[in-house]
Amino acid sequence: MAIDPYIGLAPGVAGSPESSSVSLFDRLQDLLRSLALAPPAPPPRHFFIPDEVERLYRLDGAAGIDDQTWNDLLLESYEEKLAPRASIFARQVLHRRLRAGIDDAACVAQRARLQALMDDPARLDAIDASLSTLRHADAEVAGLLFQDTAPTIPWWPRWLWLLPLALLLSLAALATLPLGWMLTLAALAPLMALQMRLHRPLEKWAATIRALHALLRATSLLGGQGGQLLEPFVAARPRAERLHLRLARSLSLRMIPGAIQYADWFAAANVVYHFKTLRIVHTECALLRECYLACANLEADVVLVRHLASIGRWCWAERGDARTLVLEGGIHPLMERPVALSVALEGKGAFVSGQNASGKSTFLRMVGLNAIAARAFGFCYATRACLPAVPVRASMQNEDSLLGGESLYMAELRRAKELLDAAGQPAGICLIDEVFRGTNHLESVSAACAVLEQLAGRDLVLVSSHNLVLAPLLREPLAPFFIDTASGQPVLAPGVLRNPNGIALLASQGFGAEIENRAAEVAGWLSSHLVEPAPPQSSSFKALATSSQATAL
């Protein structure tokens, strides 16, 4: 059966698979619908600021990924890669899923929808073609539809009919009175002033109406296709088409070239239309929300299916408990030539060390992004994954602020306090890169040890650091790993880095033998004094001391 992406079933099918002939009325109805609803092509690429993309998520008020984690894990760039051609509607829904995640039942239902679309490419193409009308919308409407506040309509629009009447009377006076032109100017003045005063609000509302028409048009087109996946559209189709016509400008004005412009300037028709449609939108807000959610969620599913078809490595993610994390062959989708790494954690977090530029920060971002994708979409970028559906919190790009008067260490302390306050509420995954760089080595290790111990008691913590002395101090809550690059292919291996390359890089960057030898001399002296410091008297450090003594014996 042929599918017309703009009408639904092909002309001559009459809306049901079993029909072999249709009445003249049905054919005429399909023709009128195609003329009224078919969008122009191709869809333009509109620019939307982050605040507009986030509007639906912010209006929900749901707890989700905080702003620093969003920035630290480069999720805005990931969002762009995920949905490069999506409409503002789908982008808002995808953003909400990424920030807030979805529960187990919603994840199962989403996986079933995605799999159904993957299994039927022809159906996917037809749905995508019908959804393309959404990409013509150049305004976001979530703020209008989900704030649920009554519009403020002033008293004076009901008297606007007096202005064109006064203009007509002044034109009659112009033909009979010597100074009739003064009356015409007096009648034109309020009409011109009205257009200049309301130009921006009217322009903004026109964009909103275009976006609402796109929603109603897509609902009608999808409702014409039928099928279990599109049942909500079938039910909403008649109401959406009636509302589409109610929100349109007068048919008589649209049929006469230039009539709309003349009516706007000399009869304030656009002002009357503005307040009329404002009332209609508020009255029909429930239907418009229904159309918004149905279209936006369906397009988001289509976007995800297209995305998965474009990448080489992904899998459906299992959902484990809050302290179990398994990633086999995990990659970061933003990298052009990603390196696959595997990690398995059960109960304990991870302390990750590695040489400079070995990929520690990228590894943490890879784990964080995969955990977020699994929680939001049910899949991740790996060959196998079992990830907890918990919040992800990160501290990776702290920096000093000249304008804010905040040093690097103060920024790190502020973020550490935020992580401690959020830890366990609910339990989550905590990713920390180069903890407490902004103070001296001794205090950095001391503060990091105390903070990470407490964090690891409530969250699953993964931390990377060049301070290798932290590894034995934190061996109880955090299992030690290092990124081994000896074979040329990075591998996450158990243990602590034994061959740091910070001093060796001095020579490769042309600092000279004198500086390199002096740095090696100082490093040797420091190592001899800091290898086995006397541990503080706490239970964890007593255990560490006992373990060290037993090893020495």
Residue 91, pLDDT score: 96
Q: How far apart are CA 448 and CA 432, in angstroms?
A: 10
The pTM (predicted TM-score) of the whole model is 0.83
Partnered with residue 78 across adjacent β-strands are none
Cα dist. 334→115, 279, 282, 323 in Å?
A: 24, 45, 42, 26
Per-residue pLDDT at 138 exceeds 70: yes
SS3 letters across 86-152: CCHHHHHHHHHHHHHCCCHHHHHHHHHHHHHHHHCHHHHHHHHHHHHHHHHCCCCCHHHHHCCCCCC
Mean pLDDT along residues 504-517: 74
Q: How far apart are CA 365 and CA 164, in angstroms?
A: 64
Phi, then psi, of 515 in degrees rounded to 5:
-65, -40
Per-residue pLDDT at 120 exceeds 90: yes
Q: Which residue has the higher pLDDT, 329 or 539?
A: 329
Residue spans of the domains in the chain: they are: 1-37, 39-156+181-310, 315-501, 514-548
Residue 5, pLDDT score: 31
Q: How far apart are CA 236 and CA 225, in angstroms?
A: 13
Residue pLDDT, tens place only, 283-323: 999 999 999 999 999 999 999 999 999 998 999 999 989 99
Residue 206, pLDDT score: 94
Mean pLDDT along residues 333-355: 93
CATH class of 315-501: alpha beta
- Residue percentage of the chain with pLDDT more than 70: 85
401 confidence band (pLDDT: 50, 70, 90): low
Which residue in the block uniquely carries the two structure tokens 């969250």? 459
Residue 7, pLDDT score: 31
Q: How far apart are CA 293 and CA 300, in angstroms?
A: 10
39-156+181-310: CATH topology is MutS, DNA mismatch repair protein; Chain A, domain 3 (1.10.1420)
The number of residues making up the chain comes to 553
Q: Tell me the two tokens of residue 548.
A: 């060290």
Residue pLDDT, tens place only, 1-59: 333 333 333 333 333 333 334 466 555 555 555 545 545 556 777 889 999 999 999 99
Q: Which of 388, 396, 384, 472 is nearest to 428 (CA)?
A: 388
